[in-house]
Each structure stands twice: as structure tokens, then as C-alpha cells.
Amino acid sequence: MLDLRRLRYFLTVAEELHFGRAALRLHLAQPPLTRQISALEAELGFRLFDRTSRTVSLTAQGRHFLPYARAVLEQVDLTQVMAGKLAKGCAGQLALGYASSIALSDLFSQAIQAFAQRFPDVQLTLVEGASVSQWSQIVDGRIDIGMGRMRPPCEQSEIQALSLGDEPLVAAISSDSPLAAQDQVTLAELSEHPLILFPADYGSGLNEAIEQLYRRNSLPLRPGPSGRQITSIIALVAAGQGIALVPRCTQTLAKKGVTYRPLTDPGATAQLLVLTRRQGRSQLVEAFMGVLDELLQAQPETAGR
């Protein structure tokens, strides 16, 4: 294996084309530098320099070898810099899971933007999935952080769930429905229409919040068709297949044929949770949590919007 120190000596002499000046730059005496270059030439099997009493020049082999030596040393320097960043927790990989409705939240996009600006050397991977699927992914390490709307059960004690706030639910109604002409709607009015939800086996925290809301108000829930994405749910509303209760941030999906109306019912909200492993959180996880905390403190009333 080539001696990296000798490669640095070679690069310095090649830049100076003078052993005396190169020795000064390297803080060496000239004789040891000459011996190190000779040792490198012996190791390589060819001369790097043509030397006379007055001049030093690269041989043809030396000129050809120079960019390779420079590339090796540049890569070593980059490796050392990256190692330092990894040690400080400002480089590496971070996998972030999220429920589909949360992707429309201002907090979600602001957190990603702020984190990416602060940690440009971190490869951030986004993994969409329902709240329930995030639990197992956090436990087995497939994702580092989850953002969902359902707390894990007590038996999943290795997962920590922190609330980032509650977001009001709004009704997504077909624009040709009489309800769309109202400024606001009640849950009782909505209960007369088919309700579009995520599939029952999807593990959606939004489903759970909506079903609890209907139960608390002792209202019947008429199941309609289902969609596995918030966008497909809104598309079904536009097609006149029923109504949907969605987080307020969903209003950014300005779909033709869909009207959003606020609910009069108190408690018509969906929580926004951040999920992590309770023990052994990495420095990058802590950093992302710090970004979320800063954003919440700056905008305490807009969590989840």
C-alpha cells in the first residue's frame, strides 16, 4: 500500500519543482525529503522527477501519475472531514416516516427544509406509511422518526410518542352538495352521508380520530368507499362518492368539485404525533427533534397546519 505521507511529499515537490522550497513548505530538511521521494520511486518502479543541479521536472510517468496521487489525497481529506462530521452528529442518514395527510402540513415541510439547510451532509429519506406501520419500522430500525396521528399501545413501550398539537378537522364535500352552500356544517349533518375513510386494515390514526368523534357524539357512521392516500380520498369526494373529514392542511389540495367547510362541533381535531425510539436515539434524531421544537416555539398556534 502506498504511503500517504510520501504521496503528499511528491505532490508538494511537483507543485514547487524545487526540493528546497518543497522542504520549507513541509517543514523538513531537504535530505530527508529527497530520501522519501527516492523511496517512493523505488516503490512505484519508475522515476517521478528528472533532476539536475539546477532544475527539477516531472518525468512523463510522473506527469501521468500526478492527477491520481492528487485524487487519492483529496479523497483522504474528504474522508477525514466526513469522519469528523459523523463524530459530531451532523452527517449520515435519517429515515423519516409520515402519514399521507401529514405531508400537507406546513410544519412537516418547514421541518424538512430547516433540517436540510442546517445539516446538508445528511441524507434524508422519506417513507410514507400509516401510523400503525410506523411503529414496527421504528422498533426494527427501518425508520428513525415517525410522524403520525395514533399513539402506540402500552405494550409498545419502546416507542415514545410526543404530541406536536391538534389540528382542526374540516369537511370535504362535493361542490354540488347543498352542504357546500353553508358556511359551516355539523357532524350530525355529515352523518347522513357516506363517509370516505382509509381502508380498515390500513392502520390510520386519522380513521381512529374520526371514528372516536362519531362515537362521542353518538352518531352513526355510514361507511363509504375508501382510499389509501389523502389525494385519492379527495378524488372520491370530487366524484360524488361521499364526504370526508380531513385535517385542515388538506385544503391545500384545491381539487375541482370539492368544497371544504369547517365543523361546528368542538373536539373535531386530529392530533399530530412524532414517534421515536425511547432509548438510544441518535444525534441526528435529537437534531431533528430540536428543529421541530424550534418551529413549534416560533409558531405555537400553527402546529400541524
Tell me the CATH class for 90-162+270-296: alpha beta
Residue with cell 527516492: 38
pLDDT score for 301: 53
Measured in residues, the chain has a length of 305
Q: Which amino acid type is present at position 50? A: D
Please provide residue 228's backbone torsions phi and psi, each rounded to the nearest 5 degrees: -90, -5
pLDDT score for 260: 97
CA 138 – CA 181 distance, rounded (Å): 44
Give Cβ neighbours of residue 79 (< 8 Å, ≥ 6 apart).
Answer: none
Q: Is the pLDDT of residue 82 over 80?
A: no
Residue with cell 507543485: 15
CATH domain 2-86 topology:
Arc Repressor Mutant, subunit A (1.10.10)
Characterize the bridge pairing of strands 269-277 and 195-197.
unpaired
What's the Cα-to-Cα distance from 152 to each of 128, 156, 184, 275, 276, rounded to whole Å? 17, 6, 33, 9, 11
pLDDT score for 58: 95
Long-range residue pairs from 56-61, CB within 8 A, at least 24 positions apart, any chain: 56/13, 56/17, 56/18, 56/19, 57/17, 58/14, 58/17
CATH superfamily of 167-267: Periplasmic binding protein-like II (3.40.190.10)
Residue with cell 374540516: 170
pLDDT score for 101: 87
Query: Cα 270 to chain center, whole Å?
Result: 23
Characterize the bridge pairing of strands 92-98 and 122-128.
parallel
CB atoms within 10 A of CB 97: 25
Residue with cell 477525514: 80
Average pLDDT in the chain: 90
Q: What is the pLDDT of residues 117-145, one digit of tens each?
A: 988 888 899 999 888 999 999 998 899 99
Q: What is the pLDDT of residues 255-264, one digit of tens each?
A: 999 999 999 9
pLDDT score for 302: 43
Task: Domain ranges for the chain, please list them.
Answer: 2-86, 90-162+270-296, 167-267
pLDDT score for 81: 67
pLDDT score for 90: 65
Q: What is the pLDDT of residues 25-39, one digit of tens each?
A: 999 999 999 999 999
The two domains 90-162+270-296 and 167-267 share their CATH topology (first three levels equal):
yes
What's the Cα-to-Cα distance from 229 to each of 144, 198, 214, rounded to whole Å? 22, 7, 22
CB atoms within 10 A of CB 192: 11
| CA 175-241-249 angle, 5° bins | 60
